[in-house]
Structure 1
Amino acid sequence: MTQVKISRALLSVSDKDGLVELGQALARHGVELVSTGGTAKALREAGLEVRDISDLTGFPEMMDGRVKTLHPKVHGGLLAVRDNDEHVAAMAAHEIGAIDLVVVNLYPFAETVARGAERPEIIENIDIGGPSMVRSAAKNHAHVAIVTDPSDYAALVESLDAHDGKTPLAMRIRLAAKAYAHTAAYDSAIANWFAWGDAFTHPEGPEALGATPFPETMPVAFSRVDMLRYGENPHQQAALYRGASVGTQGIAQAEQVQGKALSYNNYNDADAAFELVAEFGGEDPACVIVKHANPCGVAVSGSALDAYKAAFACDTVSAFGGIVALNRPLDAQTAEAITAIFTEVVIAPDADDEARAIFAKKKNLRLLLTGSLPDAARPGFSMKTIAGGLLIQSRDNGRIAEADVQTVTTRAPTKQELADCLFAWRVAKHVKSNAIVYAKDGSTAGVGAGQMNRLESARIAAWKAKDAAEKAGWPEPRTIGSAVASDAFFPFADGLMAAVEAGATAVIQPGGSIRDEEVIAAADEAGLAMVFTGMRHFRH
């Protein structure tokens, strides 16, 4: 059937936004309204005539509302094929009336979990009747329209107005597809809670339930936020999706205050900057500058302005057209400094009125305000598609403190060297492997990223430090007297010796190579202090 006249509608919603206006529009088209509980109450209070679901089924709502729509007179009215003689005869024999429109949104399960509700309340917010009606109506979309999203109310009303109270088939197909995606996402949230939430708070531990962080079936649900202009390259298509979990804080949830739409690459780079600056969340003001998903400058200082200046000085060439992230609200002075060169995106928890006014003069610059920073140590998972499959791992939330490192050389690092080692280590965690990071006095001196061997990364990082010094007019590169971090062990002493040539005096690395003794001996001979972390930070 191409067009279906809406004569009876069943409405049962948790989200009451737009409900009354929709009910009024349906009533204007002579549609009989059938409803449940709080939905019926809201419609009646607006002066609309509503038939209770119990009147339709002949059974009262029971078991604390768990059983109200699970009835043949509901699902028969939804599933009956109107041009099938046997179905029509069954409807007549059992006094089942057709239902032409279902408006349902489900119990707020994810929101209930996010606010820390107790287990019994979470269980009660697993909707049963709602998804059942949604699926029945969607299956029979040839005859029934299903609306699960209040944002579709306006389009539905426009269609009824344009087609004399009827819905076209194309709309019903689109709504059915959206409905199945909705119930799939809803069930994914429930499955994930059982797998990763409920099981891991069990008093006897997840083992008692046979639970694992990697269940046999991995339900994944994301909602599309926006279509992007293109992907990494103009011939690729792209879109931004947001995770289904409520309360998640990330780039996808940031408020874009100004600037043109973000591209795929902008989002990717902004996420890299945001995750790194989160490593310094509650500490001194920190600034991260990222280019092509790698940090080209990172610094901590006494103010956001000083942190930006120090980060910028590390690599003034790469910073042009880069992404800047700060862990403090933006002020006017910092905004002035950032806008002195072309910058693609700026990310911060907030910005004062003066800073916003300064950024507003750069109409293409994207300003993202996040409200807060995520906990760098939070649990979670990262995903990567491969041909025919998906790789999933727990996110790299490993962190190293002063007490966790082991001095393996004759000379122990000084207090300043150890501080620089730990700073460099935090940055190296966010640099593509093979990663080498030189740092001095709370800022990066040189970054070597993504090379096929560690020796070349050490040399490139040292060369960038030398280039930065020449451009700034410094008497020597900041690698002199610096600490150097390596994201994985030195398989040979050559990479270490390149750091010595650059002027590094302290090293932090995971250790664990079969040539550790050879590397330690080379460090001792050069007078280096070296510490092992026992933790690797590969990033591909």
Structure 2
Amino acid sequence: MSASLPIRRALFSVSDKTGLVEFARYLAGRGVEILSTGGTAKALREAGIAVVEVADHTGFPEMLDGRVKTLHPKIHGGLLGIRGNAEHEAAMAEHGIAPIDLLVVNLYPFEQTVARGADYDTCIENIDIGGPALIRGASKNHAAVTVVVDVEDYAVVQAEMEANNGATTFELRRRLAGIAYARTGAYDSAIWRFFSQQTGEPFPRRVVLAADLHQSLRYGENPHQKAAFYVAPQNRRPGVSSARQIQGKELSFNNINDTNAAYELVAEFERPAVAIIKHANPCGVAVGDDIATAYRAALANDPVSAFGGIVAVNRRLDAATAAEITQLFTEVVIAPEADDDAIAAFAAKKNLRLLLTGGLPDPAAQAMSFRTVAGGLLIQTRDNGVTTEADLKVVTKRAPTAQELADLLFAFRVCKHVKSNAVVYAKNGATVGIGAGQMSRVDSSRIAAWKSREAAEAAGHSEPGTVGSVVASDAFFPFADGLLAAAAAGATAVIQPGGSVRDAEVIAAADEAGLAMVFTGIRHFRH
């Protein structure tokens, strides 16, 4: 292990040339010899910086369309040779291998090539071979070699050299080596994902995960927990990860989790929709002819719980709606876009976080979701099931009316985003009672009805919103008691997956109560 070591020779091979000339010019000014490959060498030479072509350094030309250029003993020996090891130094001297003290490499843009939808052969051609080999070799020998794979670290190395008379410390070289191995790991992960998608194998023998640090967080769910927000390139969806934060305090761990839940929910609807979320559960959801109407209807469901919540909308925010939202303390507002006047209205609430995403996530899109367990991962495809009228089976004597049918489909989409056991009452395109996360489905029915009565009393209404509503259940009613609790609350129609051994008993209870009931054949457990 060495301490500070001077940089006398550097090898550059980069596809992203951001900051390249400035960094190389600094090194050249300190007398560092610069080796480089074709395109990088050309850029440096055009900037008036002296550079030695790798082909001239090795005495071996680039070949096979540039596939072979740095794969040579004079390059890898210069990076891997152990300084102070007599045998290594003798071998290097015998074969004319000069030590390389600094490696600057960023890889072929494979991820970007795949992301822009390039054809198969173009993607394959953008798999870098020499770059990862250089990075891994130099990083292994970080006792003597400084490795830079991210352009933001040019300034870090430059500052260290300034502070140490042209040298770098072991501490920096070790830290950069870790960054470098993470980069090659992420790169290999991207290539693995590409091949996995090509073969259509959903659960391969090994899973390689990679993500980029997006934001360090003050703490996690609780102040004693540490946390950070990472963006996974393989799972990019419009939402919190893609959003511009226009104003407000730094997002917290819970803000990010709740905001994601809210935005995924409103993306389910074609009509203007608003969701108000608290602790990852909706406390009010509505659709309407416009966002302002939907917001008022969503808020009416549970205005008490909405205090300090997250508001998500699926349309451009206007000033009038923004003004209404600011009347209640709100942690985060997320929308695809916002008018300048709407942004100005939010500016009066300096702590409110306003996020604009530029788009909505596709509720039907395929993606993977991950959850940790002790010693392992649970991996599944995300719940992208979308129920339409064509999927419904009427199982009662009475079929739902057109209005009931519209509300049933609305309620079932909301139910998909409520923690199990979930029961949702809805009327006229708005939730009027939500029961979430209960161990008993009948308790979810009762809690939702109770919350509806409480909201009606607070608003001075003569009866709760559940009267004349429809009710959705995320899974089948195992007994008739949950359904009868909904009927007692005033529901007139029911949507549920079906599939219980007691379906006949539940259907008979629905018929006796005069309810219309439809089965979806799909459930939406959310744990």
TM-score bin, normalised by smaller chain: over 0.9
Partner in structure 2 of residue 506 of structure 1: 493
- State yes or no: 1:388 paired with 2:375: yes
The whole-number CA distance in structure 1 between the counterparts of 2:281 and 2:109 is: 39
The whole-number CA distance in structure 2 between the counterparts of 1:485 and 1:40 is: 65
Q: Of 284, 287, 300, which residue of structure 1 is paired with 2:287? A: 300
Contact 1:114/1:247, CA 8 A, preserved across alignment: no
SS in 1 for 2:178: helix
SS in 1 for 2:498: coil
Contact 1:110/1:245, CA 8 A, preserved across alignment: no
Aligned CA RMSD, in angstroms, stands at: 0.8
> Counterparts in 2 of 1:461-540, with a 5 A limit?
461-540=448-527
> Counterparts in 2 of 1:283-432, with a 5 A limit?
283-432=270-419
The whole-number CA distance in structure 2 between the counterparts of 1:90 and 1:248 is: 53
SS in 2 for 1:318: helix
The whole-number CA distance in structure 1 between the counterparts of 2:95 and 2:414 is: 70
Partner in structure 1 of residue 35 of structure 2: 34
Shift of 1:38: 1.2
Partner in structure 2 of residue 208 of structure 1: none
Partner in structure 1 of residue 199 of structure 2: 199
Distance 1:334 1:463, change over 3 A: same
- State yes or no: 1:266 paired with 2:255: yes
Using the size of structure 2 for normalisation, the TM-score is 0.99
Aligned residue type for 1:198: Q
Q: Deviations over 1:399-452 (max 9, x none)?
A: 110011000000000111010000000000000000000001000010000000
SS in 1 for 2:11: strand
Moved more, 137-146 or 253-262: 253-262
Partner in structure 2 of residue 226 of structure 1: 215
Contact 1:3/1:166, CA 8 A, preserved across alignment: yes
The whole-number CA distance in structure 2 between the counterparts of 1:135 and 1:177 is: 10
Q: Of 216, 239, 256, which residue of structure 1 is paired with 2:205? A: 216
Q: Deviations over 1:509-528 (max 9, x none)?
A: 00000000000000000010
Partner in structure 2 of residue 449 of structure 1: 436
Using the size of structure 1 for normalisation, the TM-score is 0.97
Contact 1:489/1:509, CA 8 A, preserved across alignment: yes
Q: Deviations over 1:386-408 (max 9, x none)?
A: 01111000000011100110000
Contact 1:81/1:88, CA 8 A, preserved across alignment: yes
The whole-number CA distance in structure 2 between the counterparts of 1:457 and 1:317 is: 18
Shift of 1:247: 5.4
Shift of 1:17: 0.6
The whole-number CA distance in structure 1 between the counterparts of 2:237 and 2:69 is: 34
Contact 2:239/2:359, CA 8 A, preserved across alignment: no
Shift of 1:246: 8.1
Q: Deviations over 1:25-48 (max 9, x none)?
A: 111111111111211111111110
Contact 1:304/1:328, CA 8 A, preserved across alignment: yes
Shift of 1:471: 1.4
Partner in structure 2 of residue 253 of structure 1: 242
Aligned residue type for 1:146: V
The whole-number CA distance in structure 1 between the counterparts of 2:237 and 2:326 is: 30
The whole-number CA distance in structure 2 between the counterparts of 1:475 and 1:36 is: 79
Moved more, 170-179 or 223-232: 223-232
The whole-number CA distance in structure 2 between the counterparts of 1:374 and 1:39 is: 39
Aligned residue type for 1:52: E
Contact 2:248/2:351, CA 8 A, preserved across alignment: yes
**Structure 2 unmatched ranges of 5 or more:** none
SS in 1 for 2:483: helix
Q: Deviations over 1:58-81 (max 9, x none)?
A: 111111111000111100000000
Aligned residue type for 1:158: A
